[in-house]
Chains A and B, each alone.
Chain A
Amino acid sequence: GDSVTQMEGPVTLSEEAFLTINCTYTATGYPSLFWYVQYPGEGLQLLLKATKADDKGSNKGFEATYRKETTSFHLEKGSVQVSDSAVYFCALNDYKLSFGAGTTVTVRA
């Protein structure tokens, strides 16, 4: 079945550092890909999405490109802030929304 694998955490960074969280997927169809974020004490919310190959999703300085040839959807941000500390989940939707295990990111001032 469809599945998502994302890099294990936790990840600890200093402010203004570059962040990459790797995500790869397995799917039989043509899924849409998502990054969700869970800030401390809050619910899951959509960060960005891409619905077809070569699409780039972006939001709040984060970007991810849907790469069909490498079945990947890596999340990147050029300069992180303390407020980016959260748990990040990669997900795919091929009529069933499936999540990766999550990556905890802590940004230190």
Chain B
Amino acid sequence: EAGVAQSPRYKIIEKRQSVAFWCNPISGHATLYWYQQILGQGPKLLIQFQNNGVVDDSQLPKDRFSAERLKGVDSTLKIQPAKLEDSAVYLCASSPDRGGNTEAFFGQGTRLTVV
């Protein structure tokens, strides 16, 4: 079974530029998550999708971050414009359903450096 795929693996941009990350979840998984992991901290949930609907985006900085999940499969996360404090690893994860007892499967992440 293929895992969660993310691209790119690394990205370096200047502040005020824009950037987009892509995620392909495990086939058939209804729930998709985007997390931000700043060095030395735990993952922080940015947005959670159930199929192609948003379940939770309470911690997404909506003035600069946006995300979409087309047709309930792939997802993209965009930052525009980027700030220095956005430097982090962006993790995508998926799970079979929204149920609380199901585990989430994580991709390798995209390491973003804003200079």
Contacts and interface: CB of A to CB of B under 8 A. Distances in A.
B41 to A, nearest CB: 6
Interface stretch (B21-29, B65-73, B75-83, B104-112): B104-112
B100 interface: yes
B48 interface: yes
A17 interface: no
Interface string A24-60: 0000011110100000001111100101000000000
A97 B45 contact: yes
Contacts of A30: 100
A75 to B, nearest CB: 15
Contacts, number: 58
Contacts of A93: 100-102, 104
Interface in A58-106: 89, 93-102
Contact of A49 (B40, B48, B99, B103): B103
A96 B103 contact: no
B98 interface: yes
Interface of A: 4, 29-32, 34, 42-46, 49, 51, 89, 93-102
Interface of B: 33, 35, 40-45, 48, 55-56, 91, 93, 95, 98-109
9 contacts: A43-B106, A43-B107, A49-B101, A51-B101, A96-B45, A97-B33, A97-B104, A102-B40, A102-B42
Given A93-B100, A101-B42, 20 more contacts: A30-B100, A32-B100, A43-B106, A43-B108, A44-B91, A46-B103, A46-B104, A49-B101, A51-B100, A93-B101, A94-B100, A95-B98, A96-B45, A96-B48, A97-B93, A97-B104, A99-B42, A99-B44, A101-B40, A102-B42
